[in-house]
Amino acid sequence: MSEADKVEHVKYSKEKGGLAWITLNRPDRRNAILGNHQEFATVSKVVDYLHASDDDKDVRVTVLTGAGKSFCAGADFKGPKSGEEVGQHPIGTRGIDYANPENVDDTRQFFYHGFTRKICEISNVRKPTIAMVNGTAAGVGMDLALHCDIRIGCENSHFMAYHGVAQIIENGGSYYLPKMVGLGRALEFAYTNELTADTAYQWGLLNHLVKSSEMRSFTRNLCQRIAKQPPLVQWISKRIMRAALDSSLETTMVMTSNAAGILQSSEDSKEAKRAFAAKREPVFKGK
């Protein structure tokens, strides 16, 4: 990724060991997002960086987090600060200028195709993703966390939906939340809009709940454990398990049977057997 592809309000960095960080970087606005689907808007850049991680052979895990004391406070109704650039709205495939809709259906098209589907791309990236929820995740911020594979929280984590602007849980949240915590609990959240770190962990929304001072070291340790396992197994497991959310047992068994045959002939499978026989650590290459 070139320096020209980067923006200040969303940082992208890499560490040794296969870890990439995507950091929402507007701490003075509690990392509220900029824009919607403009080329430099927050969600667009998060997705761009995730695709860059997917294409980078040196990256094994990507962590999404926020600078300062918040994860993401949702939409920024104050608008961009001086010097912040979000770029241009693209023109729709039917020639509609979604930046200047002529009717309510144009607005719906703009929201769904230009924003909701962009957020949903997060769940479709190949490699493992972790949301390190270091503070409040409100509205779109909660959506971003729900689309990641794993969520790590601390005592400062707090989840809120769109109740403050009289809207329902959007952008995939109404799909993933009941599957993660159960229908009754998801509806309780929809009725109250209150979800503390302790409750989120008890309900299963957070995979791990750690002290804020230990979040980064805990996350790095988890990423190291992930990086030791065969990449192909992780990528295919992710695709099958996410597809299984909407599939039958029979369909899922067919997918796993097909995948097993593919993995058996991979270089990583052969390396695993050689390493086991030699009693050494395997070196996986995702091939």
Q: Do residues 98 and 186 both lie within one domain?
A: yes
> What one-letter code names the amino acid at 227?
A
The domain boundary residue, chosen from 196, 211, 227: 227
CATH number of the domain enclosing 202: 3.90.226.10
Q: What is the pLDDT of residue 91?
A: 47
Tens digits of per-residue pLDDT, 128-141? 999 999 999 999 99
| Kind and range of the H or E run holding 14 | strand 10-15
What is the DSSP secondary structure assignment for residue 165, as one 8-state letter? G
Q: What is the mean pLDDT of the chain?
A: 88
Q: Using one digit for the tens of pLDDT, what is the confidence trace for 4-22?
A: 578 889 999 999 999 999 9
Q: Which of 227, 245, 261 is the last residue of a domain?
A: 227
Q: What is the average per-residue pLDDT within 92-101? A: 51
Same domain, 241 and 209: no
Q: Which of 53-67, 111-125, 211-225 has the lowest mean pLDDT?
A: 111-125
Considering only 107-111, 123-127, 139-143, 153-157, which range has the smallest mean pLDDT?
A: 107-111
Predicted TM-score (pTM) above 0.85 = yes
Is residue 32 in some structural domain? yes
- Same structural domain for residues 251 and 148? no
Q: Are residues 260 and 142 in the same domain?
A: no
175-187 per-position pLDDT tens digit: 999 999 999 999 9
User: What are the CA-CA distances from residue 234 to residues 10, 67, 87, 226, 259 (Å)?
Assistant: 27, 28, 35, 9, 12
Do strands 10-15 and 19-24 pair parallel, antiparallel, or not at all (unpaired)?
antiparallel
Contact in structure between 37 and 48 (CB atoms under 8 Å): no
Q: Confirm if 34 and 76 have CB atoms less than 8 A apart.
A: yes
> 245: domain range?
231-278
Query: Does the residue 287 lie in any domain?
Result: no
In a domain, 283, yes or no: no
Residue 96 has pLDDT above 50, yes or no: no
Q: Is 98 in contact with 187 (CB distance < 8 Å)?
A: no
Residues 135, 203 share a domain? yes
Number of domains in the chain: 2
| 212 and 274 housed in the same domain | no
Looking at residue 61, what is its pLDDT? 97
Residue 203: per-residue pLDDT? 97
Query: CA–CA separation, 50 vs 12, rounded Å?
Result: 9
Q: By percentage, how much of the chain surpasses pLDDT 90?
A: 60
